[in-house]
Amino acid sequence: MKKLPLLILFIFFVSNSHAQRRTEKNTKNIQAIKNNVSSLLASQFHRSSPAIAPGSKKTNTYERLTSLSEYNYTDTIFHSIGYIDSESYIYSGGGSSFDFNYMNYNSAWTMAGDIPYGYGTNVAKLAHNNVPAVFCDSVLIYDDYFGTFSFYDTRYATYDSNYNITNYADLYLSDTSMLYYNNKFVNTFDAYQNSAKTYAFNWYFGAEDSAQYRAFSYDSNHNILEDSSQDFDFVAGGWAPSYRWLYTYNSYGKIAKAYGFNYNGTTLTWDSLATYAYTYTTDTLLQTFTVASLDTSGLRLVPSYVDSFGYSSGLQYAIYKMNKQYDNTGTLQYTSVLTKHINAEYVPDTTYEIQYDNLSNVIGAEKTVYSYNAFNDPTKAIIHNIDTFTHPWSYDIAADYVITYHYAPFTPGPSWIEHIGGPAYVSNITATKKNISIYPNPANTEIFITTPDIQQGASTNINIFNSIGQLIKTESLNWSGRSEKISIADLAAGTYYIVVEDNSTKSISKSSMIKL
């Protein structure tokens, strides 16, 4: 039985590992590309808890993740047999939300646009706070990072009244002999809860030193236009230009291209660093994503990553992902394919990841089987690796790793954000149903809202929020059947969020809509 090679686990876009491993930076140019990839990619997904099927045991109470642990049964190469990762979460008012795109929880935070490629798992609107999925005050982490299972890391976060992270620190062991990059952040926000400025600090052998300053600018729709960075120059004792990212959007308000530049201190010019390009489905879900970066000559852009995604009707998370990775000459090196089997509760009960080399030989495979509770939160993830690389291959019958999740009930406060999708204000609303469709979409003068989850005659509220979460319009009615017509002729062009409340069952449905 073989565990996927460690290098491959880190470089592949899709990873089912829930352990938060720390990686050190490579060269600044390569890291600058990687730091933006996942953030830009993630911003195109709608974080959405999947449906709760009619007749399921979903209730109006809430629960949040209190701990998770990962047990290794077979791998003696990379780990010791036994527990290899454990995280405990301490809250004051927040909660947790499982990410069905990446199939994990994440308690880490990095500045907006600064998520290591294939490693960080934050999903948020790019123009807003890059919030984690576990909205806790602190995390205590045990790991076998040093060869034995022991205390490894502590994360702390403080929030404002809108649950924006104002301060964040990843303290590790505060080892005075170590250098940790970007382990502490201080953030400010504008009146619309967009990230305005972010300061990053390095743990520099026993002290926190200034590392990077980033400023963000936005258009009238609160889409980010520019992300500019400055690094602290310890020799000159001041800030020096570092990186710059410019963004363009399509007619639906989705990122079409992002252009990265590196500041040349010799010529005092901005040199091209990378270009990202995006395409979307007719439902405005991310379909393909391409990264082109500088080759070894530093003179031309060549493919670096090419990703494609597939969806199932009614689900807002991807059930198929293919990632192709290239070297710095533009030659294909690896391909990873992830598929998800969806159960009757509209959640993935099994995921399959297969990895190939540039000759299409299988070099790794992993099957993960998930169990869920009545809230459709995972309780266990059982991981089976490939048993042999000789064709025909199969998965190990016995589990190689098992991740266990523990929860506790809680009463959410009025400002709690369960990250279902859309801006912060809209995300305050917890969706308990999924079977909602809006057509036409995009639309110009009117839309039809269809759902089988609301009974005829039920008292219903239809709320329309704009792109920054402000309530624009509400219609109260008795549901006439399976469909209701709503006029949107008075709305300005842009992206809106539709929230349908069934007052009789207290169920809530959410979806997005484009007004032309």
Q: What confidence tens digit (pLDDT) does each residue in 465-494 have?
A: 776 566 678 888 888 876 788 888 888 777
For residues 348 and 447, state if they share a domain. Answer: no
Bigger pLDDT: 268 or 253? 268
- 53 vs 300, residue with greater confidence: 300
Residue range 403-415: mean pLDDT, rounded: 80
Residue 177 above 70 pLDDT? yes
1, part of any domain: no
Res. 367: pLDDT tops 90: yes
pLDDT value of residue 98: 85
Task: Tell me what the mean pLDDT of segment 441-449 comes to.
Answer: 88
Find out whether 495 and 514 touch, Cβ atoms under 8 Å.
yes
Q: Which of 427, 448, 478 is the last residue of a domain?
A: 427
The mean predicted confidence, pLDDT, of the chain is: 75
Provide the pLDDT confidence category of residue 380 given band limits of 50, 70 and 90.
very high
Which H or E run contains 477? strand 471-478
Domain boundary among 408, 427, 446: 427
Question: Considering the domain boundaries, does residue 277 fall inside one?
Answer: yes
Pair 232, 139 in one domain? yes
Looking at the structure, tell me whether residues 415 and 445 fall in a common domain. no
> What is the DSSP secondary structure assignment for residue 283, as one 8-state letter?
T
Same domain, 462 and 335: no
Dihedral angle sign, alpha carbons of residues 117, 118, 119, 122: positive
CA distances from 39 to 12, 33, 43 (A): 15, 11, 6
Residue whose pair of structure tokens reads 């590790």 in the numeric block: 172
Is there a domain that residue 264 lies in?
Answer: yes
157 lies in the same domain as 179 = yes
The answer to the question of residue 189 being in a domain is: yes
Cα-Cα-Cα-Cα dihedral sign, residues 372, 376, 379, 384: positive
pLDDT value at position 255? 79
Q: How does pLDDT run across 224-236, given as a tens digit for each residue?
A: 888 888 887 766 7
Supply the pLDDT for residue 231. Answer: 83
Lowest-confidence range among 57-66, 269-278, 469-478?
A: 57-66
Domain holding 323, by residue range, is 6-427
- pLDDT for res 468: 53
Tell me which of 122 and 387 has the higher pLDDT.
387
* 158 part of a folded domain: yes
Phi, psi of 7 (to 5 degrees): -60, -45
pLDDT of residue 132: 67
Query: In the chain, pLDDT over 70 holds for what percent of residues?
Result: 74
| Distance of alpha carbon 427 from the chain centroid | 15
Same domain flag for 446 and 418: no
Q: Is residue 432 in a domain?
A: no
User: How many of the other CB atoms lie within 10 Å of CB of 389?
Assistant: 12
**pLDDT band at residue 365 using 50, 70 and 90 as cut-offs:** very high
Q: Which residues contact 376 (CB under 8 A, 6 or more apart)?
A: 49, 50, 52, 56, 58, 345, 347
What's the number of domains the chain is made of?
A: 2
**For position 477, which CATH number holds?**
2.60.40.1930
Distances (CA, A) of 505 to 418, 459, 508: 20, 10, 9
Are residues 369 and 483 located together in one domain of the fold? Answer: no
Q: Look at the chain and count its residues.
A: 516
> Who has greater pLDDT, 430 or 236?
236
Query: pLDDT band at 57, cuts 50/70/90?
Result: very low
> Does residue 184 belong to any structural domain of this protein?
yes
The residue among 272, 361, 286 whose CA lies nearest residue 123 is: 286
The answer to whether residue 205 sits within a structural domain is: yes
CA angle 172, 202, 275 (to 5 degrees): 110
C-alpha span between 320 and 101 (Å, rounded): 10
Kindly list the distances between the CA atom of residue 338 and the CA atoms of 18, 307, 320, 324, 355, in Å, as whole numbers in the listed order.
Answer: 16, 11, 6, 12, 9
Per-residue pLDDT at 417 exceeds 90: no
Q: Give me the pLDDT at residue 506, please.
A: 60
Looking at 382, 402, 427, the residue that finishes a domain is 427
Output 157 or 511, whichever has higher pLDDT: 157
- Please give the average per-residue pLDDT across 379-406, as a whole number: 88
For position 191, what pLDDT does the model report?
Answer: 80
Answer yes or no: are the C-beta atoms of 402 and 381 closer than 8 Å. yes
Same domain? For 291 and 164 the reply is yes
- Top-confidence residue, 134 or 408: 408
Q: Which residues of 160-199 are buried (b: 16+ CB within 10 A; e: fewer)?
A: eeebbbeebbbebeeeeeeebbbbbbbbebeebbbbbebb
Q: Say what the pLDDT of residue 173 is.
A: 67
Q: Is the dihedral of CA 128, 153, 79, 30 positive or negative?
A: positive
pLDDT at res. 370: 98
What is the longest distance spanned by two Cα atoms in the chain?
72
Asked if 277 and 328 sit in the same domain, the reply is yes
Residues 243 and 210 in one domain: yes
* pLDDT grade for 174, boundaries at 50, 70 and 90: low
Which tokens sit at 290?
A: 């391409």
pLDDT at 168 over 80: yes
Edge-to-edge, what's the strand order for the sheet holding 446-450? 437-439, 446-450, 483-487
- Closest by CA to 163, choosing from 192, 205, 135, is 135
Whether 334 has a pLDDT exceeding 90, the answer reads yes
| Residues 462, 343 within the same domain | no
Q: Is 173 found in the same domain as 82?
A: yes
